[in-house]
């Protein structure tokens, strides 16, 4: 059991707009004043500058949803870790299943992106998770182990600086959440894998993601190895996101 402050990170995905962001972020900041956890929002890159202004003077942390493995140069469409740093970004999601699935990102690319983030002092939120077919074939642990192993191998002793998010693909955006026991079982495996790689594994936040909402957050967050949440849909509605934040203590 770890006693560190929990981390609740919103993943807006490809949602938002200048006016909507303004209302959402103002409501979140006003409502999270007494939060016992760290709160971040991972927003589409074009809105980083808007968020940098909106969050000014608050404890809301800023995150991005992807980063290039390259430092700079002829990589049209890519965004570097240094660019994210310019906007005060503290976290970046890497290896989200939507990027693995729709953009063909493999384990090594994800590990390289985590490395690029760490090199510039940005904490990568490394997503791992099995598909429904993999779970039904009894391959859950093998799959998440392989995904995390690549990141450990590439990042060596820096591994204690990452955040891991366990996101079963079948639970993302489906309203079908892993049970607290299912999630805890995988989180404990991931923790053990980290322990074999670093003496500081207890420091690593392992988040659960996949249809976490105001109703199920408290029981998920009560599990010994669930150190927070990566929240998609529910992070777009201030009251829902705030309820999850208040459940994280
Ligand atoms: P969801 O998404 O909360 O909408 O299921 C989580 C995620 O994909 O990070």
- What is the spatial distance between Cα 225 and Cα 75, in angstroms, rounded to a whole number? 38
Ligand 1 atom 7 nearest Cα? 232
Residue 55 lies in a domain: yes
What pLDDT does residue 3 have?
Answer: 74
Span 77-87, average pLDDT: 98
pTM of the predicted structure, to 2 decimals: 0.97
Is 13 inside a domain boundary?
Answer: yes
Q: What is the pLDDT of residues 140-165, one digit of tens each?
A: 999 999 999 999 999 998 999 999 99
User: Please, are residues 144 and 190 in contact by the beta-carbon 8 Å criterion?
Assistant: yes
Which atom of ligand 1 has the smallest separation from the CA of 213? 3
Which atom of ligand 1 lies nearest, measured to the CA of 127? 9
Atom of ligand 1 nearest to the CA of 174: 5
Please give the distance, rounded to the nearest whole angstrom, from the Cα atom of residue 129 to the centre of ligand 1: 12
Encoded tokens for 178: 């892993």
* Strands, E assignment, 27-181: 38-42, 61-64, 89-94, 123-128, 163-166
Residue 17 lies in a domain: yes
Which residues, including other chains, have CB under 8 Å from residue 119's CB and lie 6 or more apart? 81
Q: Which regions of 12-131 does DSSP assign to beta strands (E)?
A: 38-42, 61-64, 89-94, 123-128
State residue 67's pLDDT score: 98
Whose CA is closest to atom 6 on ligand 1? Answer: 232
* Cα–Cα separations (whole angstroms), residue 110 to 41, 97, 107, 126, 128: 20, 11, 5, 8, 10
Q: Could you tell me if residue 187 is inside a domain?
A: yes
Number of domains in the chain: 1
Contact assessment for residue 116 and residue 80, using Cβ atoms and an 8 Å cutoff:
yes
Residue 239 half-sphere exposure, CB side, CA atoms within 13 Å? Answer: 1
How far is residue 241's CA from residue 189's CA, in Å, rounded to a whole number?
28
- Ligand 1 is surrounded, with C-beta below 6 A, by 11, 167, 172-173, 209-212, 230-234
Residue 213 sits in a domain whose CATH number is 3.20.20.70
The alpha carbon of 74 and the centre of ligand 1 are apart by a number of angstroms equal to 32
Mean pLDDT of 92-110: 98
Is 2 domain-assigned?
no
Over the stretch 223-233, which tens digit does the pLDDT of each residue have?
Answer: 999 999 999 99
Catalytically active residues are: 96, 167
Do the domain assignments include residue 1?
Answer: no
| Residue to mutate, 10, 207, 209, ligand 1, most ligand atoms under 8 Å from C-beta | 209
**Which domain does 158 fall in, by range?**
7-247
């Amino acid at each position: 059991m770890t006693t560190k402050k929990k981390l609740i990170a919103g993943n807006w995905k490809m949602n938002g707009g200048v006016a909507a962001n303004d209302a959402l972020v103002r409501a979140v900041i006003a409502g999270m004043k007494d939060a016992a956890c760290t709160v971040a929002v991972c927003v589409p890159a074009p809105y980083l500058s808007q968020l940098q202004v909106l969050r000014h003077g608050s404890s809301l942390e800023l995150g991005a949803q992807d980063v290039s493995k390259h430092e700079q140069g002829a990589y049209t469409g890519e965004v570097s870790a240094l660019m994210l740093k310019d906007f005060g970004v503290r976290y970046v999601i890497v290896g989200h299943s939507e990027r693995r699935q729709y953009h063909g990102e493999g384990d090594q690319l994800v590990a390289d992106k985590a490395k690029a983030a760490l090199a510039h002092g940005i904490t990568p939120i490394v997503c791992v998770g099995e598909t429904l077919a993999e779970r039904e074939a009894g391959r859950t642990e093998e799959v998440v182990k392989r995904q995390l192993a690549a990141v450990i191998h590439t990042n060596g002793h820096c591994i204690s600086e990452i955040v891991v998010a366990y996101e079963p693909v079948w639970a993302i955006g489906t309203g079908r959440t892993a049970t607290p026991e299912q999630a805890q079982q995988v989180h404990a495996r991931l923790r053990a894998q980290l322990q074999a790689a670093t003496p500081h594994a207890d420091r690593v936040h392992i988040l659960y993601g996949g249809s976490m909402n105001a109703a199920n957050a408290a029981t998920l967050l009560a599990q010994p190895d669930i150190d927070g949440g990566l929240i998609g849909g529910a992070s777009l509605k201030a009251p829902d996101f705030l309820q999850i934040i208040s459940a994280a203590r």
